[in-house]
Every structure is written in structure tokens, then in C-alpha cells.
């Protein structure tokens, strides 16, 4: 399992700020990385690589492991889309259909793993993430 680098308190605060409309690089970067860490914790493994350039990437989902080069199952999206997906404000099929997510590989899907956070942005500071 991946070790958390962002404290839960810092992650929640950055996520609340990003969901409230902050475009500060530190808020967006911390929120994205926090959510990537949460995904890796909930779905440990090395089968799928989720990339949110330029902020971060993680490997998740148990199954066959790749060891070199580009992994066979890659998901890539922008920060705003990743936050919306992880918070349940955007569903996976819509994001893929609207080309807001590029997914390649037979296992490159996060259906059933998202959302990671379910509360409304205004409540983000008071509810468990």
C-alpha cells in the first residue's frame, strides 16, 4: 500500500478550497495528490496508472503488474476533471464520453471505485472525506 505523503487535514483543506473555486496551484496540486493517494489506498495494486499532469500519478487496482515502460492500462485527465470525478460531481461514463478522460487498456476504468468523496463542497470541512 502506498504511504500517504499529504496529511488528511491538509488534503481535506486543499480539496475544500479547490472545490470552492480556488485556482491556486498549491490548493489544486495538493487536492489532486490527496485524491490520488486516497485512490491508491482504496484500490491497492499496480495494474492501472492514473495520471493527472502536471500534478501527479499513481498506480492502483490489483492484478498483473507491469515492470518497464508505459503500463498497459493508463488513465489520464486534467485536475478539474479528476477532482469532479473523485468527488462525485461527474460520472465516469460522461467524462470518457466527453473526452475529458483518456483511458487505454482493457482494465483502464475506475467504475465502482469512484467517487472517493461524497459530500457537498460547502460541507467539506465538517464531514469526513
Backbone angles phi, psi at 63, to 5 degrees: 145, -160
* Dist CA 109 CA 96 (whole Å): 9
pTM comes to 0.87
| Cα separation, 114 vs 44, whole angstroms | 14
Local confidence pLDDT in tens for the 129 residues of the chain: 557 899 999 999 999 999 999 999 999 999 999 999 999 999 999 899 999 999 999 999 998 776 777 778 999 999 999 999 999 999 999 999 999 999 999 999 999 999 999 765 444 444 444
Amino acid at each position: 500500500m502506498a504511504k500517504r505523503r499529504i496529511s488528511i487535514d491538509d488534503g481535506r483543506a486543499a480539496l475544500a478550497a479547490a472545490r470552492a473555486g480556488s485556482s491556486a496551484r498549491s490548493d489544486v496540486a495538493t487536492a489532486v495528490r490527496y485524491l490520488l493517494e486516497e485512490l491508491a489506498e482504496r484500490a491497492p495494486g499496480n495494474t492501472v496508472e492514473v495520471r493527472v499532469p502536471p500534478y501527479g500519478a499513481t498506480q492502483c487496482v490489483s492484478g498483473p503488474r507491469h515492470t518497464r515502460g508505459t503500463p498497459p492500462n493508463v488513465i489520464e485527465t486534467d485536475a478539474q476533471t479528476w477532482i469532479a470525478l473523485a468527488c462525485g460531481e461527474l460520472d465516469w461514463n460522461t467524462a470518457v464520453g466527453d473526452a475529458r478522460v483518456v483511458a487505454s487498456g482493457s482494465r483502464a476504468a475506475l467504475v465502482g471505485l469512484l467517487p472517493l468523496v461524497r459530500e457537498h463542497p460547502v460541507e467539506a470541512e465538517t464531514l469526513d472525506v
